[in-house]
Amino acid sequence: MDIIQCYAPTNDSEEEEKDNFYNRLTTIIQDRPKRNIIIVMGDFNAKIGSDNRGYEEIMGQHGLGEMNDNGERFADLCAASNLVIGGSVFHHRRIHKATWVSPDLFTENQIDHLCIGKKFLRSLQDVRIKRGADVASDHHLLVARLKLKLKKNWTGGSSQRQRYNTITLKDSKKKEEFKVTLSNKFQ
């Protein structure tokens, strides 16, 4: 399992800074083994909205707000990397979707996200916000519930059987000494 935690530049940041971030993140994701469960999460400063036209494969219709530039970049990254945006898949009330609240306490946005590889989407049970968590931030705690079935990783090599030197026990005198020593230890 590979978990990638990140912080994306804000929507007002320079285009070059945003391009560098998403190019680097794409490289990191592509370098992960394909068999691993990949979870990408963090503050993407990306509004994805509820209109998933063109992105049906990677997001549901349960996002919040309207898609912004960072949202498009984020959705494009997910589409290119076969990641599904977890917060858009599950239906919740607005109070359990808004990840950020402005200082005036009126503006709320869903800008923190958790994505999982498309082939592991069935493992994702829920993604929602937990309000009231003491995290000393203007962001709410994003919580995901996963159900995993893990398999034991068997090694290909065979284990060597441990062998004992029994040649000295063929000598009757040594054999008797060993029996006495052994019986004395267990008395």
Q: Positive or negative CA dihedral for 46, 47, 50, 53? A: negative
- 146-170 confidence digits (pLDDT tens): 998 877 777 666 667 777 777 777 7
The runs of H, that is alpha helices, within 31-140 are: 69-81
Domain boundaries, the chain: 2-146
- 93-150 confidence digits (pLDDT tens): 888 888 888 888 788 888 899 999 998 888 888 998 888 877 778 888 889 999 988 7
Q: How far apart are CA 125 and CA 122, in angstroms?
A: 7
Question: pTM score > 0.75 for this model?
Answer: no
Q: Please identify, in words, the CATH class of the domain defined by 2-146.
A: alpha beta
Residue linked to tokens 């691993």:
36
